Amino acid sequence: MRGSLQAYKQVSVNAQLASASPHRIIQMLYAGAIERLIQGKAAMEQGNIAVKCERLTKALDIVLSLRDCLSMEDGGDIAKNLDALYDFMGSEIYRANAENVTQPIDDVIGMLREIKSAWDQIPAEYHYLTETN
């Protein structure tokens, strides 16, 4: 049953990605990172090291993907600040995983929620803008 549910979720995510704007994809990445961090923290608190490592690694991968999406040439100071922030987040996720401590996870979740909140407020007319437009 669990495998079927995971397959259904994957199909649902793939369907959303196929029709998503660049803006929506970034929203999904933020939400996915937050969700994986929450799951990783819960696994840590339950002593489930394998799940903790897997979830925190996925969260780290998402943060690194967000960092890779930055356009340093076009983004100016905002891109530079986000680059440094994503670098810090990555270090904190790594530290939380290595030292088995939850505070860095809470800190990164807070930062991601704040950035996502600002991202969510971008007006709809800008959702499909890309560097090729």
* pLDDT tens string 55-114: 999 999 999 999 998 989 888 999 999 999 999 999 999 999 999 999 999 999 999 999
- Phi and psi at 28, nearest 5°, equal -65, -35
- CA torsion, ordered 12, 18, 22, 25, to nearest 10 deg: 20
Q: Is the pTM of this model over 0.85?
A: no
Q: How confident is the model at residue 21 (pLDDT cuts 50, 70, 90)?
A: confident
For residue range 80-95, what is the model confidence (pLDDT) as tens digits? Answer: 999 999 999 999 999 9
Q: Which of 99, 15, 9 is nearest to 53 (CA)?
A: 99
